[in-house]
Amino acid sequence: MKRLLILLALLLAGCSAGDHMPTTPIATETQPVITEPTVPETTAPTEAPTEAPTDPIEEMVNTMTVEEKVGQLFLARYDAANAQHHVQQYHLSGWILFSADFEHHTPDTIHAEIDALQVASAVPLLMAVDEEGGTVTRVSRYSAFRDTKFPSPRKIYDRDGLLGLMETEAEKCRLLTSLGLNVNVGPVCDITTDKNAFMYARSLGQTPEITGQLIAGMVDTMAQNQVGSVLKHFPGYGNNADTHVGIARDNRSLEALEAADLVPFRYGIDAGCDAILVSHTIVEALDDTLPASLSPAVISYLRSEMGFDGVILTDDLVMQAITDTYGAGEAAVLAVLAGNDLLCASEYVSQYEAVLAAVQDGRIPMERIDEAVYRVLRWKQKLGLLTFEG
């Protein structure tokens, strides 16, 4: 019995000691060490920088010579005898034709003459005319082109209303484009109430709001028929004198102008007009010294306050309101410096040379020329005259 108790004690002691001994794995074969593969840090794929789409008009401007650029600033008084030669020599932007230029022509002969000019010109030409109707008709006064001349817009609206006015505008456009003409220098936006005033017969004779609505309709009709529109005569003749024969001053307040004369221009701008022609009147509310056509303040108002980014052009720079004070060449330089993009020019040779000299000697910055040329070429593109591949 004693021996049995000793044996039992030894067994219990062994079990107790085993609880504290480290265990040894049964298999002694070395196990391979498994490691996770190294994963490189991920980054977003790098995209090649995308180039801004090229502007074909800007590229065209950049490839032109100074002489070619200056020429694009001139809508010259048509000179049939020298037209083809001068288009190439002075790189003219286009021609404006007057009634004498149609007098001995038929539709076929004038069309052929215009086509020949387009072929001769490196850059397609603006071919313009003042076919307002009424007292200002260049084409329809001759029976070879229309049985009777177009009545004035005032008369058409009074007689036939809005529909009649739009139908007549569409007919004008069809006549002009059939001859190769692509710009009609109109419509007339002036608010004139004095029957004795210079612009009375040419104005629509309605309130500013109704005039504006009619102007918008005319601009839209012209655009539908691929004829360039030119609102005139900014900032409005009112009842002022004729600047063809001398200086005219407008002493009305800016508030008065904005309530009346400027209203039709706003309608025309909103309708997408192509260009605005600036008069030679001194509008004291905007500039009490310079004619509107030569005034940076007037051009700035048209750009910044009225939001117009199309072509701004002068009335003809040989009108006495200009030449009596400035002379033709200096007037052309001042007009470009003021911010005009296109100059109506009867004395285009001397005026071209004056502007070119002012650019070459640094008086007119090249940036001013480039922005003007850009707007003119953009207008030509809109009219379908300039096309670019792609």
Residue 24 lies in a domain: no
Residue 37 lies in a domain: no
Q: Is the pLDDT of residue 286 over 80?
A: yes
Contact assessment for residue 279 and residue 293, using Cβ atoms and an 8 Å cutoff: yes
What is the pLDDT confidence band of residue 321, given thresholds at 50, 70 and 90? Answer: confident
Alpha-carbon torsion, ordered 109, 112, 127, 346, to 10 deg: -60
Q: Compare 31 and 321 and report the one with higher pLDDT.
A: 321
| Residue 20: per-residue pLDDT | 40
Residue 167 lies in a domain: yes
Taking the C-alpha atoms of residue 147 and residue 166, their distance in angstroms, rounded to an integer, is 19
pLDDT tens-digit series, residues 113-171: 999 999 999 999 999 999 999 999 999 999 999 999 999 999 999 999 999 999 999 99
Arithmetic mean of pLDDT, 28-49: 49
- In this prediction, what percent of the chain has a pLDDT beyond 90? 78
Taking the C-alpha atoms of residue 341 and residue 151, their distance in angstroms, rounded to an integer, is 31
How many domains is the chain partitioned into structurally? 1
pLDDT tens-digit series, residues 71-93: 999 999 999 999 999 999 999 99
What is the pLDDT confidence band of residue 53, given thresholds at 50, 70 and 90? Answer: confident
Arithmetic mean of pLDDT, 202-209: 96
Residue 48 lies in a domain: no
| Residue 242: per-residue pLDDT | 55
What is the pLDDT confidence band of residue 50, given thresholds at 50, 70 and 90? Answer: low
| Residue 8: per-residue pLDDT | 38
Arithmetic mean of pLDDT, 344-363: 97
Q: Give the sheet arrangement for strand 183-184, strand by strand.
A: 311-314, 275-278, 228-234, 183-184, 126-129, 94-97, 74-77, 343-345
Q: Residue 328 belongs to what domain range? A: 71-382
Residue 97 lies in a domain: yes
Q: Is the pLDDT of residue 1 over 80?
A: no
Arithmetic mean of pLDDT, 254-263: 97
Residue 5 lies in a domain: no
- In this prediction, what percent of the chain has a pLDDT beyond 70? 85
| Residue 389: per-residue pLDDT | 80
| Across 22-26, 117-121, 190-194, least confident range | 22-26
* CATH code assigned at 245: 3.20.20.300
Amino acid at 254: L
Please state, rounded to an integer, the average pLDDT across all residues of the chain.
89
| Residue 52: per-residue pLDDT | 65
In this prediction the pTM is: 0.85
From the list 343, 333, 341, the residue with the least C-alpha distance to 375 is: 341
Helix/strand number for the chain, H first, E second: 14, 10
Residue 83 lies in a domain: yes
Taking the C-alpha atoms of residue 217 and residue 366, their distance in angstroms, rounded to an integer, is 37
Q: Compare 127 and 34 and report the one with higher pLDDT.
A: 127
Taking the C-alpha atoms of residue 175 and residue 144, their distance in angstroms, rounded to an integer, is 12
Arithmetic mean of pLDDT, 221-250: 85
Residue 322 lies in a domain: yes
